Amino acid sequence: MTELDEEAAALQRRFGRPGAVDFAVSPLGGVVIHLTAGGATATVALQGAQVLSWIPQAGAPDALWCSPLSKLGTGKPVRGGIPICWPWFGLHPFVPASQPAHGLVRAAPWSVESTGTGETGSWAVFNMSLTPQQQAFAGMLTAALRVTLAEKLTLELVSHNAGSAPVAISEALHTYFAIGDIGRVRVEGLEGRTYLDQLTKMEAEQRGPITFDRETDRIYWDTGGALPAIKDDGLARSIALSASGSKSTVVWNPWSEKAARLGDIPEEGYRQMLCVETANVGPRNAVTVSAGKSHTLSCSLTATKI
């Protein structure tokens, strides 16, 4: 028995609910939880509390894309599923050169706090605290992520400020959706919203649905209340996102050149993935968490055939 087998077995004894919440060693090389509810399944890695797979109905294809080139336990985040960007999105606002992009918790180990199963689905709660060294510049923050699998997949990310001064955070549930082909998808629901094009640094207003024929990297501001949907003609599937505690939506596809530079997306792999991220991006949509208070960012995903 390897150390990972032992860890999975110990977690299964403590938190497992056979057939609904099951711990296992992933072929990617780390411990994961398999959630099952009705015909749906989801897999969540303890590394990064990262959802790696979501099969919304028995026999359906995975609704999340995950790079076959990624592994757990390498110190790098897995490229795919739903990485948690926290407590900042993109570059650190003050010390970008010395800190990793997208925060501190994507490749960090999270702890399992609790699990359950019942009429509302199967769920697991993970938590993590910043180290004292990280707290020195990022604030006395802790994070908890609840993943609930039912007819929908729901993620709730709670940021708690245990310190005595307010802390500004930015964050994202950086979802990589699996799609038939990038040339045959459109994102609806963001019409009329203002976005920052991260490639040109210009702002513009979204006209009509978003379609893709090149690298796309946009932060849509003030999207609270928007209901983005990914209409995928290739897979005859629509995925609807509903969010709360979210003011921004990020839409990203690296296209061929950037995908090659990133090094963990297979050739042509960019055609099968699209990120639509439920977020709060600074400076405009950063969230200030008062001392002793919490903020919750959540998103629910629903997949239907079209």
Our answer to whether residue 171 is catalytic in this structure is no
302 touches ligand BG6 (CB under 6 A)? no
**Closest of 198, 215, 297, 293 to residue 259, by C-alpha:** 215
Least distance (Å) between residue 249 CB and ligand BG6? 11
Residues in the chain: 306
102 touches ligand BG6 (CB under 6 A)? yes
156 touches ligand BG6 (CB under 6 A)? no
171 touches ligand BG6 (CB under 6 A)? no
Contact criterion met (CB below 8 Å) for 273 and 80: yes
212 touches ligand BG6 (CB under 6 A)? no
Catalytic residue among 151, 174, 188, 215: 174
Rounded-to-5 percentages of helix, strand, coil across the chain = 10, 45, 45
**Closest of 189, 296, 164 to residue 251, by C-alpha:** 189
Contact criterion met (CB below 8 Å) for 65 and 50: no
250 touches ligand BG6 (CB under 6 A)? yes
174 touches ligand BG6 (CB under 6 A)? yes
Cα dist from 265 to 62, 66, 67, 78, 149, whole Å: 17, 9, 6, 11, 27
Copy the structure tokens of residue 13: 């004894």
Tell me whether residue 151 or residue 215 sits nearer to ligand BG6 (CB atom): 215
Least distance (Å) between residue 304 CB and ligand BG6? 26
Least distance (Å) between residue 99 CB and ligand BG6? 12
Contact criterion met (CB below 8 Å) for 261 and 269: no
Tell me whether residue 106 or residue 160 sits nearer to ligand BG6 (CB atom): 106
260 touches ligand BG6 (CB under 6 A)? no
Least distance (Å) between residue 101 CB and ligand BG6? 4
217 touches ligand BG6 (CB under 6 A)? yes
198 touches ligand BG6 (CB under 6 A)? yes
**Range list of H helices, 131-183:** 132-138
* Contacting residue, 50, 239, 277, 303, with ligand BG6 by CB under 6 A: 277
Our answer to whether residue 174 is catalytic in this structure is yes
Tell me whether residue 34 or residue 271 sits nearer to ligand BG6 (CB atom): 271
Enumerate the β-bridge partners of residue 64: 177
Least distance (Å) between residue 49 CB and ligand BG6? 16
Cis bond upstream, residue 283 (ω within 30) = yes
Read off φ and ψ for residue 55, nearest 5 degrees: -105, 105
List the catalytic residues. Answer: 174, 277
Residue ranges in contact with ligand BG6 by CB under 6 A = 101-102, 174, 198, 217, 250, 252, 262, 277
